[in-house]
Structure 1
């Protein structure tokens, strides 16, 4: 009796495993689908790199301009630049957050 029960149990288990395997069969992507996904990823990464480079250059020029303003002792220009920068920070943050959400950009959060 025990042997018959065990055999039925194993057969039931094997049939359940087969059904589970059949239900979760992953579709193998075609070569053109992989190449399309890869080229799309590369183009998005290239756009992100160009944008980051532009932001870096703009930031470097801003720091250089601030250094010249301070070295030439023009405090009013420096103060106005600081005030405008503080006012613009929330707008830049909101625009960047909206752009990232809408474009599904490849993000590297460092995690």
Structure 2
């Protein structure tokens, strides 16, 4: 398959559009602000390269899961107008996955930052 720069630019445009839509959602915006705060704190505390890698990866995972949560919610809303018990369970489980990632991110943040703050 031959590489097409035009197709790549179009794909990039769609991806940026998707991120822009995600940014309009309250939870994603909150996660962005928290991520920026963590990055600023990392700069102030001069964390190591390894700690930077761990933090950036963690932030990326949380943001990606938040996008996927929105995708699932929008898809399920599109497929069914009524809220069945099964659809509710699916939405709850996807939101739970985001919560797990956030809790792990908090633990990682505490492990990295707490010794530097005490």
Bucket of the pairwise TM-score, normalised by the shorter protein: 0.3 to 0.5
Structure 2-normalised TM-score? 0.40
The alignment's TM-score, normalised by the length of structure 1, stands at 0.42
